[in-house]
């Protein structure tokens, strides 16, 4: 986004300025919650499944942050499904063998139904991914991955796929546009679970897709119109309200996450910590080469059984034992409690979504919970 003085606005400013109504005397600062299923004839919207001014405001803000035209959907998974629905029958999809369990399940179901062919690779191994690209229609990337925090070499993989004319889509939910902007690296589509950091208050479910390709935009907009997974206007309005403070929340949560990752890695009851911002993390050098931060999710393994790990999660007072992530409140969970989570994720792995509380309060709570389970 360009300011009146022609200089590029920084994301901290964009999050506050984008998606506002035009300024006229007594105009509202915020867009209205447009509760309408239909519109009088003669205009560009026509029907409430085709467009809504509250969605448009939210999409302007996400689009300005990601650097692309944006469409919002009823959930992150609806956005993912919209991408897969635009593929031709039998399309070859290359994706990571470890990633968000919902996407992994969807990929598996589409493959079983013979709608697509998926080739799953180790995303940290750039050569292996590139070797699998021949004949692919779509490279689906998620980085860092949920919940293992593996990092894909996005600049190298996007370049390799684009030189072979393969569509590249990136799930940017963990990193967000503040850390990396895949469209600027050449990706075709960026997906966000708006439910997480963008909205940021664990009170709604929404998703988005951003692209600079008019062809992809039209196909993805048609998928929204005719598959019908549209956002609710109230959720769109709340998400935009959340975006106003997203950079501040994300900065604070990321700072907390680095500190907690450091302390966890020295804790006697923790056997392994994954956080790309830790200098000792196997992916740190790669992550540092193109990411502007490392996010606020930390995964670690507890020195005990699955049952003992559940007890850790149940013992905290500030950190809540609940799924999801990206809100102001810290949450954690043992990921393998979900039957759809990959068997490659250790039974004792806890995914911690670090919130914006005071870091010393968080540490006291986490340390007490680790000891309470023994
Ligand atoms: C949560 C999540 C999704 C799915 O988003 P929903 O809004 O829950 O549908 C997709 N990818 C990642 C990385 C996620 O964390």
CB of 208 within 6 A of ligand 1: the answer is no
Residues 353 and 289 in one domain: yes
Residues 261 and 122 in one domain: no
Q: Is 131 part of any domain? A: yes
Residues 76 and 159 in one domain: yes
The answer for residues whose C-beta is within 8 angstroms of residue 122's C-beta and 6 or more apart is 96, 97, 128, 129
> pLDDT tens digit string along 265-323?
999 999 999 999 999 999 999 999 999 999 999 999 999 999 999 999 999 999 999 99
Does 119 sit behind a cis peptide bond, omega within 30 degrees of 0 on the bond before it? no
CATH number at residue 136: 3.40.640.10
Q: Is 306 part of any domain? A: yes
The Å distance, Cα 193 to ligand 1 centre, comes to 5
Q: Given 197, 216, 243, which residue is the final one in a domain?
A: 243
DSSP string, 252-307: HHHHHHHHHHHHHHT-TTEEEEE-TTSTTSTTHHHHHHH-S---SEEEEEESS-HH
Contact 323, 335 (CB under 8 A): no
Report pLDDT for 6: 52
Contact 146, 100 (CB under 8 A): yes
Report pLDDT for 334: 98
Alpha-carbon distances, residue 185 vs 177, 202, 284 (angstroms): 12, 30, 20
Residues 228 and 314 in one domain: no
CB of 149 within 6 A of ligand 1: the answer is no
Ligand 1, residue 145: give the atom nearest the CA: 13
CB of 169 within 6 A of ligand 1: the answer is no
Tell me the CA end-to-end span of the chain in Å, nearest whole number. Answer: 52
CB of 81 within 6 A of ligand 1: the answer is no
Residues 184 and 274 in one domain: no
C-alpha 45/C-alpha 213 separation (Å) is 21
> pLDDT tens digit string along 243-277?
999 999 999 999 999 999 999 999 999 999 999 99
Count of structural domains within the chain: 2
Quote the strand ranges of the chain, DSSP E: 69-73, 91-96, 116-121, 138-142, 167-171, 189-193, 207-211, 270-274, 297-302, 320-321, 331-334, 349-353
Tell me: pLDDT of 3 over 50: no
CATH number at residue 306: 3.90.1150.10
Q: Given 243, 278, 305, which residue is the final one in a domain?
A: 243
Average pLDDT (182-188) is: 98
Q: What is the pTM of this model?
A: 0.97
Tell me: pLDDT of 374 over 90: no
Residues 134 and 263 in one domain: no
The Å distance, Cα 6 to ligand 1 centre, comes to 35
List the domain range (segments joined by +) for residue 333: 246-372
């Amino acid at each position: 986004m360009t300011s009146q003085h022609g200089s590029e606005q920084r994301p901290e400013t964009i999050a506050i300025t984008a998606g506002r109504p035009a300024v006229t005397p007594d105009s509202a600062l915020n867009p209205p919650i447009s509760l309408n299923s239909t519109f009088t004839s003669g205009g560009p919207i026509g029907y409430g499944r085709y467009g809504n001014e509250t969605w448009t405001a939210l999409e302007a803000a996400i689009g300005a942050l990601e650097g692309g035209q944006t469409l919002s959907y009823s959930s992150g998974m609806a956005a993912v499904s919209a991408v897969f629905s635009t593929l031709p029958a039998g399309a070859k999809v290359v994706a990571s063998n470890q990633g968000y369990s919902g996407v992994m399940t969807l990929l598996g179901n589409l493959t079983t139904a013979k709608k697509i062919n998926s080739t799953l690779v180790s995303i940290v191994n750039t050569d292996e991914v590139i070797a699998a690209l021949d004949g692919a229609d779509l490279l689906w990337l998620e980085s860092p991955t949920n919940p293992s925090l593996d990092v894909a070499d996005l600049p190298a993989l996007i370049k390799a796929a684009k030189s072979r004319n393969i569509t590249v889509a990136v799930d940017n939910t963990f990193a967000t546009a503040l850390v990396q902007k895949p469209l600027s690296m050449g990706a075709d589509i960026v997906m966000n679970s708006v439910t997480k950091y963008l909205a940021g208050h664990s009170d709604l479910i929404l998703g988005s897709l951003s692209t600079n390709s008019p062809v992809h935009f039209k196909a993805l907009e048609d998928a929204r119109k005719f598959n019908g997974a549209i956002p609710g206007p109230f959720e769109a309005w709340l998400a935009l309200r959340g975006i106003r403070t997203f950079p501040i929340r994300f900065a604070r949560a990321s700072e907390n996450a680095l500190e907690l990752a450091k302390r966890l890695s020295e804790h006697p009851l923790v056997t392994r910590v994954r956080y790309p911002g830790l200098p000792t993390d196997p992916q740190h050098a790669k992550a540092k080469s193109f990411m502007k931060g490392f996010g606020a999710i930390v995964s670690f393994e507890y020195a005990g059984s699955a049952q003992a790990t559940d007890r850790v999660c149940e013992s905290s007072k500030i950190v809540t034992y609940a799924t999801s992530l990206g809100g102001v409140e810290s949450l954690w969970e043992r990921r393998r409690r979900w039957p759809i989570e990959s068997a490659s994720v250790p039974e004792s792995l806890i995914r911690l979504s670090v919130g914006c509380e005071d870091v010393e309060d968080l540490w006291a709570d986490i340390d007490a919970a680790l000891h309470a389970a023994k």
